Each structure stands twice: as C-alpha cells, then as structure tokens.
Amino acid sequence: MIRTLLERLLSRVVVKRRLPASMGAGELLASAGAGGLKFVLKRTDRLDPSLLSMAAGTVVPGSVIWDVGANVGLFSVAAAGLAGAGGKVFAFEADLDVARLLQATARLPGNRQLAPISVVPLAVSHSTGIQTFGIAARARASNALSGYGRSQMGGVAEVRWVPAMSLDQIREHLPAPTVLKIDVEGAEVAVLEGGRRILAEDRPLVLCEVCPADAAAVARLLTGAGYRILEGGLADGRLHPATAGSAPWDTVAVPQERAMLKGEVHFS
C-alpha cells in the first residue's frame, strides 16, 4: 500500500541520476512512473546490479549495442559509457512517453563523451506490422505487447497501437549489433524468432531476461543457433554455465566459437 502510494505521488517527478564511474559516469533521466520507484530512492549502483554486471562483462570499447526494451535507458547509458565514443547504442522503446524521456537522456551534456544513443520508437517482435501494446498500471518498465506481460504490470492502464519490426528486418537499416540486450516482459521467444539471421550471421553476445515459462524454448533457439548459455545475476557477480536445456532468468548467450568472457566461470 505504502509503495503504491509513493509510486503515485512520484510518478511524474523526473530525476537525473549519474551512473557509477565504472560504467562511464553517464547521466540518466527517470521517474517512478516510467522506470519504477527504485530510480528515485536507490543508489545508482543498486538500481539493477545484475544488469550492470552483465553490461560490464560484455560491452567493450567500440561495441554496437541494441537495447531491445530499453525503458528509461539504464542499460543503454551504462553500455554507452562502457563502449565509449567509438561505440553506438540503439535503444528500442515502444512507449512514446518513455522514449521521449530517453531521447532527453541521450541529449544530456554529461553523456557527450559516451557512445551516441539513438532512440528507435518501435516494438520488436517476430515480424513487421502493427501490434497492440499495454501500458502498465504500475511502473511502465512492465509494459508489454498484448498477450504478454507479468503480474508486475498491476493491470493495463491503456492499450496503444504501435509499429513493430523483427530484428532481422531492422538489421537491413542499422549496423549489426555486437551486443544484443532483450527485456520484453515475456515476448523474448517472438523477438529471438525474428532474429534468426542475426544470430546465424552477426553472432552478437545476447543478454536476455527470460520468463520461466519460456526457459526451454529460449534455450532451444539459442543452442540451435550455436550459442552456449550462461547464467548471470548471481551473488558472486560472475557468469556460470546454465542448466542444460534451460535458459535462466538472466541469460547471457555466447557464440560457441568465441573465447571465454571476462568474469566467466568454467567447470571442468
């Protein structure tokens, strides 16, 4: 009850936060309504330690990052700091209100030395078309394409029609990603199915939040594309081999031909 009241009171209050120096010290605009109460109350290194840890383990100077389901851009700004001025970040966000806030973040003076962040206001799915998109009654970090979403939405406050494209179709217009981050509230199978060519030909590192119901399907897609699956988000901050045949909540997928990642643990 108290949390819900605080979210309502602070929903329209926009705050500017600075990420840790280890992430490039980029600046981020957020609100309780757009990203969640944590963006107002928590230290920036505590906003999403798992996500920041996975960014640190995968993004290198010069990386091209596609952030699918960017929300207010925590991963986008962290990745821009890690990639540096020679990198590129493309942030995909279907909620136009949040996308505008993210565009304002991209223009902040404190981000001028980071990789440029380009905001792409569309949904990513298995194909090109027009789809319905649910705006969460609670923090809009839980927004989802219709037919997906989780209990964190707190119900749907509004349904909008949004343009949608597949990863492979987007690839015809943008440079190939070296790091592909996906956080789409249950639609990760559809997103990955629409990116089979990218997985086969461009071989990006994949960071994906995976709902338990989709764990087996995501694992089949990624292993079938020649990826090995690691688990991030653990207490030691390192990447561990995942259980065979399943993709963990914090999935990091690495092309099989690629050498060990920083922070990766192998068991013999």
- DSSP track, 129-151: EEEEEEEESS-GGG-EETT---G
Q: Can you tell me the distance from the alpha carbon of 101 to that of 79, in angstroms, rounded to the nearest whole number? A: 18
Q: For the chain, what is the largest distance between any 2 Cα atoms, rounded to a whole number of angstroms?
A: 52
Low-confidence ranges of the chain (pLDDT < 50): 268
pLDDT of the residue at 151: 60
Q: How many CB atoms lie within 10 A of CB 16?
A: 12
Domain boundaries, the chain: 6-255
The class (CATH top level) of 6-255 is alpha beta
Per-residue confidence (pLDDT) for residue 4, from 0 to 100: 57
pLDDT of residue 9: 57
Beta-strand pair 27-30/144-145: unpaired
Q: In the chain, where do the E strands start and end?
A: 15-18, 27-30, 64-68, 88-92, 117-120, 123-124, 129-136, 144-145, 156-165, 179-182, 205-209, 227-231, 240-241, 250-255
For position 40, what pLDDT does the model report? 84
Q: What pLDDT does 191 receive?
A: 97
pLDDT given at position 268: 39
With vertex at residue 226, the alpha carbon angle to CA 247 and CA 123, rounded to the nearest 5 degrees, is: 60
pLDDT, tens digit, for every residue of 1-35?
A: 555 555 555 566 889 999 999 999 999 999 888 88
Residues 150-163 have pLDDT tens digits of 666 667 888 999 99
Alpha-carbon dihedral sign for residues 80, 82, 86, 92: negative
